[in-house]
Structure 1
Amino acid sequence: MSSTTLKIVAVVAVLLAVVLAIIGFQMSRNYAEQAQKAQQRVQQQEVQQTLAVVALKPLAAYKPIARDAVALVPVSVVPANPYESIDDVVGKVPLVDVDAGAPVTRRYFKEGNVLARIIPPGHQAVSVEVNDVIAVGGFVRPGDIVDLLLYLRGGAGVDEPQSRVLLKDVRVLAYEERIIDRPEGIKEDEKQRSRVRTAVLAVPDKDTTRVMLGASLGELRLALHSPGEPVAAETAAAAPDKAIGVSELTRIRPPPSVQPTPPPPSVEILRGSAREVVTTR
């Protein structure tokens, strides 16, 4: 082989080596960039993950959640209103079934309305229809203590019209459509004030049927207590109901008889033939 041919072969080999080196460098650079991008994506996913309580097995509705049925795990998609502590979930009762693997959120549970949370133990919330006259001129407010009065007309087992205290020391839980008073400065519509409204009372469990029967037989009225007046521990069933009938109310009592004034005591003194009477006062 001539020297010229050898030179050409050597040049081609050098060029081929340079091309291969460039291709290898480009491939390694692309591989490094792809690896770096993949690592960044993984890091971004790890940053975006949030710890949330997830059901490890199906949770049945209306049954308390056991501690081993849930776990705190990272989630990529943050659910609405999640729980971030297992202690916040254990013992709660869901209203619907929760599938395994689903995040346990607050929408599964009954938080309870404000009125239900303020009912005293052993009582029930009973609404009575009232207007401004029945509700002490409309001045009754939630939290007040009232007596529930009942007026019975004659008939339907009642010999004569009468009035009595149906329940004593009843707490008003709500009046109109509010459980607490409106802020100062908000004026109420007079048309709305004149219509019939409701008052929600905390009635002892054993007296709810008593209130229902009384409302169906007669007219109810609220009697407001003074704020400083102590509330009796006993219910109206054990307290006098102050019942009074028409015959007693309209009875004409004779005036008290006037007794003659007795004469003052006296002492008779005899001095010989003389006789003298002396009063002691």
Structure 2
Amino acid sequence: MKNIRALVMLLVAAVAGLGAVAMASRWLMDRSSGMTAKVAVAAVDINLGQRLNTEFIKMVDWPSGSVPPGAFTDGQVLDGRVMKNSVLRGEPILEGKLTPVGTQGGLSAVIGEGRRAITVRVNDVIGVAGFALPGNYVDIIVSTQQDKGSDKGSKDESISKIVLEKILVLAVAQEVGRDETKPKVVNAVTLEVTPEQAEKLDLARSVGTLSLVLRNQVDTATLPTTGATKFTLLGASAPATASAPAPVRPVRAHYAARPAAPRDCIGVLSGVLGSVECF
């Protein structure tokens, strides 16, 4: 009899414990559900210029107090939007990383307002051994012949000069992904420039050879240079240009009247006539 009573007490205690655990678990779930929100994040790595669809997006629980500004709580509104920046898997998709509504995908979607994209041909040396990747900034150097003027005796001089600074690399070849860190040797690089810079760059590649100079991404300093010539490269001073000869001024002759030289005179008598002869 005592054993049955003990078993009943144990059974009642077990049921009560299970009920307490269930109630505590439900309370915690209700409390946690009120402290989180659904946020749209990238299901895979997404490159700039790509158009989003349901395969690129997943909804995850995010603490309500730390939802990033511009985050989306409905993944359906992102269908068809185009990325302006690259995002990694698990990273929230924010409004600031998207192009305006209605923008078509591709490289044209990531070109800044008032900017243009221009492609220049490069090789493994000009392209900084493949380290000029999308998202990097470069300077442009042109190597050409400097015009010395219209003098027939003067000769054009070789010069290398930085003509453009802090130019954004949009794409290398046909790739626009910015999350790559390995160098890629390609034959073309697409740069983002202003219309004025596009004109200067097009002229530079037609008159000389272009080279890319990789620069620090956070370095915004502009350093004006005079260019390097053969004489500055070797540490010699440039030869002085021959000055034009001074014009010859005409010499005006001044004539002064000279007094008549004194002469000797004698009187000559011829019959009854007389005369004076001077010599």
TM class by shorter chain equals 0.3 to 0.5
Report the TM-score when normalising by structure 2: 0.41
TM-score normalized by structure 1?
0.41
Q: Which has the higher helix share?
A: 1
